[in-house]
Amino acid sequence: MTRGSADAATAGAPDVPVGRIVGVGAPVAWDLTVVAVVVALVVSLYPLLATADAALQQGRAFVPWVTGLVAQLRG
């Protein structure tokens, strides 16, 4: 294949600004990656926090229950 035939094959093709595409696409990709990581952390931590809150509420209810049980046993 000669140089002339290669030029003829791409004569009507538009120039693609690869550098600009990468320059614009890379920051957007990083931003979306950071957002995805933050969302993954929030989704992972929510069950842990919900469970800890439920345990704390049960712990708060435990002391009055024991106090009431002791009062019932004393008669």
Q: CA 30, CA 23: separation in Å to the nearest integer?
A: 12
Residue type for 53, please?
Answer: D
For the chain, what is the total number of helices (H) and then of strands (E)? 2, 0
State the pTM of this model.
Answer: 0.47
- Bigger pLDDT: 12 vs 49: 49
pLDDT in tens, 52-64: 999 999 888 888 8
- Bigger pLDDT: 65 vs 75: 65
Which of 7, 50, 13 lies closest to 58 in space, CA to CA?
Answer: 50
pLDDT at 8: 61
pLDDT band for position 45 (cuts 50, 70, 90) = very high
